[in-house]
């Protein structure tokens, strides 16, 4: 079965160009120029990954991302002409997995798509890496790598693949301090660059879902100037 890509961009030329490149890679593509039609497609079709433009005629891409995240956990890549760091943090807070600013090379988007889908499919495979545990308990938190589920006080927490990967990596190294650079390079599979707030934004989102107090988190703790740890 082909992986399916949802493209949502009101700039028709960009949407059409991405469609051509992704179809050439063998993906099935659903393409829309507004958020409402795109969201209706998400409700009806099996989507492997979504590419959302931030500026849409009926709703902004952040709002669409948030709506999708209420019931779907496939990877989401945000596209935008904005370059402010706060926009990236907003996207990650709403549940986005990656962020690409315009103008861009279509091959760059294809590369990011492949990377995100590869990780997403790995999470849904029954066989996990032999060196990893299947279950980890941290206080009231239970993480199942085998079933790709996380519960807090017996209640399931809905995590995106990226969020789960971060949490699992930290939990599997319980007691160790993991740097932002290491987390980024392991989870995203790319070289960490200076002033990259991607990890910080995802940690903040994770803490919110785990009901962690912002100033004194009990599960994911910050070691200032070093990184993050789960004790």
178-205: buried (b, 16+ CB within 10 Å) or exposed (e) per residue?
bebebbbeebbeeeeeeebebbebbbbb
DSSP string, 152-201: ETTEE----HHHHHHHHHHHHTTTS-B-HHHHHHHHT-S---TT--HHHH
pTM comes to 0.60
- Per cent of the chain over pLDDT 70 is 90
What is d(CA 95, CA 104) in angstroms, rounded to the nearest whole number? 22
pLDDT at 6 > cutoff 50: yes
Average pLDDT over residues 149-161: 90
Strongest mean pLDDT among 16-30, 104-118, 190-204: 16-30
Among 8-17, 29-38, 138-147, name the one with the lowest average pLDDT. 138-147
Here the tokens at position 129 are 């890496």
């Amino acid at each position: 079965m082909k992986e399916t890509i949802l493209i949502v961009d009101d700039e028709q030329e960009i949407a059409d160009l991405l469609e051509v490149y992704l179809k050439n890679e063998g993906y099935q593509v659903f393409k829309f120029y507004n958020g409402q039609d795109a969201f209706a497609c998400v409700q009806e079709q099996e989507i492997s990954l979504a590419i959302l433009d931030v500026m849409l005629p009926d709703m902004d891409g952040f709002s669409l991302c948030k709506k999708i995240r209420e019931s779907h956990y496939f990877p989401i890549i945000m596209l935008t002409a904005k370059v402010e760091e706060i926009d990236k943090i907003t996207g990650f807070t709403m549940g986005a997995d990656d962020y690409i600013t315009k103008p861009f090379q279509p091959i760059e988007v294809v590369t990011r798509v492949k990377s995100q889908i590869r990780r997403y499919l790995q999470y849904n495979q029954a066989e996990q890496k032999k060196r990893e545990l299947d279950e980890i308990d941290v206080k009231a938190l239970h993480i199942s790598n085998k079933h790709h589920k996380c519960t807090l006080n017996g209640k399931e927490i809905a995590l995106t693949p990226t969020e789960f990967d971060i949490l699992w990596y930290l939990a599997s190294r319980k007691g160790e301090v993991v740097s932002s650079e290491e987390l980024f390079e392991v989870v995203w599979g790319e070289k960490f660059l200076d002033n990259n707030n991607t990890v910080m934004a995802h940690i903040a989102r994770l803490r919110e879902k785990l009901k962690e107090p912002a100033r004194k988190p009990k599960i994911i703790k910050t070691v200032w100037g070093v990184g993050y740890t789960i004790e």
